[in-house]
Amino acid sequence: MGQCGITSSKTVLVFLNLIFWAAAGILCYVGAYVFITYDDYDHFFEDVYTLIPAVTIIAVGALLFIIGLIGCCATVRESYCGLTTFVVILLLVFMTEVAVVVLGYVYRAKVENEVNISIKKVYDEYNGTNSNAQSRAIDYIQRQLQCCGIHNYSDWQNTHWYEESKNNSVPISCCRTNIGSSCTGSLTHPEDLYQEGCEALVVKKLKEIMMYVIWTALTFAVIQMLGMLCACVVLCRRSRDPAYELLITGGTYA
């Protein structure tokens, strides 16, 4: 029965190490996705520490690949030193992922306040030219999120760009996609414009991204707990059963 339990634990552990390799790629992908997406919205929040969870999850992904290699070798060879190292590293990674989850929730709560502070300033710096970073950022989110203005399209009337252009219109990026080229952004035809403001949608998007990080970290933290449990079963069996140790080393009783 004991031998059956140890074999089952080893089988599960080898399978989990293969999952760790897949997890390494998934974690790195999620971290890179967060970086790329946040780059499109970086004008709307000023706290660079918001990216800490993404940086951490990429580092964890890289470490998981190494852990999978160590775990497979240690499990197949049944190396006490290798399995101990495997458990210790897994424990450290598990603690790191718990920290990622906590940081994710902390920064997720700060996103709304960050966007509220920054978005009006970004809209005030809009000048409608492609060379202006704020203009590119606003045109991008208005097209991507299908929104116009901070709370609605009328917010453009309070911007420097509107006062200087004096044509009673909003940027073309406010035009509905189904209207086509006939839309000029004129406020005399508000039905051609997106009705929803961008502030709430930017906050929603950034919170969704942070939730991707949180759920990914939680999922793989659970898998790592199972990996530590299986490794501990193998280690405990080896340390408590001299017959099993002799079987592994090829020795015999005196």
Angle between helix 133-144 and 2-41 (nearest 10):
120
- The 3-state secondary structure of the chain reads CHHHHHHHHHHHHHHHHHHHHHHHHHHHHHHHHHHHHHHHHHHHCCCHHHHHHHHHHHHHHHHHHHHHHHHHHHHHHCCHHHHHHHHHHHHHHHHHHHHHHHHHHHHHHHHHHHHHHHHHHHHHCCCCCCCCHHHHHHHHHHHHCCCCCCCCHHHHHHCHHHHHHCCCECCHHHECCCCHHHCCCECCCHHHECCCCHHHHHHHHHHHHHHHHHHHHHHHHHHHHHHHHHHHHHHHHHHHCHHHHHHHHCCCCC
Instruction: Quickly state the pLDDT bin for 128 (edges 50, 70, 90).
Output: confident
pLDDT tens per residue, range 194-217: 999 999 998 888 888 888 888 888
Model pTM greater than 0.75?
no
Whether the per-residue pLDDT at 113 is higher than 50: the answer is yes
Looking up tokens 């930017």 gives 202
Q: What is the pLDDT of residue 183?
A: 86
Q: Write the pLDDT tens digit of every residue in 145-196.
A: 999 999 999 999 988 898 888 888 899 999 998 887 788 888 888 899 999 9
Rounded CA separation 124/143 (Å):
18
Tell me, what's the pLDDT at 50? 64
State both tokens at 102. Answer: 């906590």
How many Å apart are CA 18 and CA 3, to the nearest integer? Answer: 23
What average pLDDT does the segment 115-136 reach?
85
- pLDDT for 29 beyond 70: yes
